Amino acid sequence: MHIVDGALSNPVVIAGAFAAAGGIALGLRSLTLERIPAAGVLSASFFVASLIHVPIGPSSVHLILNGLAGILLGWAAFPALFVGLLLQTVFFGFGGVTVLGANTVNIALPAVLAWMLFGRLIGRGSPLAGAIWGGIGGGFAIAATTAMVAAALALSGDAFLPAARLVFFAHIPVMAIEAVLTGFAVLLARQVKPELFQTGASA
C-alpha cells in the first residue's frame, strides 16, 4: 500500500503533493477543538495498524484502517493519516518522503469518500444497521485505495490492469478483516458514544 521513492513519475508525485496539501488544509479547517483528540487517537491507530500482520496462506498482509478514520473524521482524516504516514516513513521506512503526498492522497481520499457515501447511513437507524454500513464503508475504503494505488502506478507507466489486479487481489483479505473491524468499532461507538457520528451526519 505504501509506494516507495522512485516508483512514481515526477508529475504524479507533484500532483499527489498538491492534492495532499489541499486535503490537509481542508481537514485542518474542519478539525474543531472537540475532534482533535479523536483525530489523534485514529492517527495513532493507523500508525500501529500497519504493524499488525494478518497471516493469509503462505504470507501476510497488514491492516490499514483508513475507512474507520474517514468515517469518524471526515475531511480531518487527511491530516490524521498524513501524520501517521509521515511517522511510518521516518520510523519504519515504509514508503518514502518524496512520495508522501501521493501516499497520503491514496489512503486519505478513499477514507473521505467512504465518509461522504456512508457517513449519513452510519449515523442514523439502529446501531446494528449503522455497524453494517460501517463495515461496508471500511471495505470500500480499502478497495478504493487499491484502485488509487494502481492508478498512480499506471500514470507512471506500469501497465494498469496487471498492477491493479495484483494490488486488488492481495488486499481482499484486508478488505474483509477491515470491514468486520470497522463494523464492530461503529457498533461499539454507536452504543457508548453516539454523539461521535452527529458531526459526520450533519456536515
Binding mask 41-80 for other proteins (x = CB under 8 A): --xx--xx--x-x--xxxxxxx------------------
Q: Figure out which of the listed residues 121, 151, 154, 166 binds other proteins, where binding follows CB under 8 A.
A: 166
Pairwise CA distance, residues 93 & 100, whole Å: 12
Closer Cβ to other proteins, 132 or 150, answer by number: 150
- Closest approach of other proteins to the CB of residue 26, in Å: 16
Q: Figure out which of the listed residues 71, 131, 132, 149 binds other proteins, where binding follows CB under 8 A.
A: 149
DSSP secondary structure letter of residue 56: E
Instruction: Give how far the C-alpha of residue 51 lies from the chain's centroid of Cα atoms, to the nearest Å.
Output: 15
Pairwise CA distance, residues 126 & 181, whole Å: 18
Q: Which of residues 167-196 bind other proteins (CB under 8 A)?
A: 167, 169-170
155 in Cβ contact with 9 (< 8 Å): yes
Pairwise CA distance, residues 49 & 53, whole Å: 8
Q: Which residues pair with 59 in a beta bridge?
A: 56
Question: Residue 98 has which C-alpha cell?
Answer: 518524496
**47 CB contacts (<8 Å, ≥6 apart)?**
83, 84, 87, 88
Which range touches other proteins (CB under 8 A), out of 18-26, 147-155, 181-189, 191-199? 147-155
Which range touches other proteins (CB under 8 A), out of 32-40, 125-133, 183-191, 195-203? 32-40
Query: Footprint of other proteins on this chain (CB under 8 A)?
Result: 1-8, 31-33, 36-37, 39-40, 43-44, 47-48, 51, 53, 56-62, 83-84, 87-88, 91-94, 149, 152-153, 158, 162-163, 165-167, 169-170
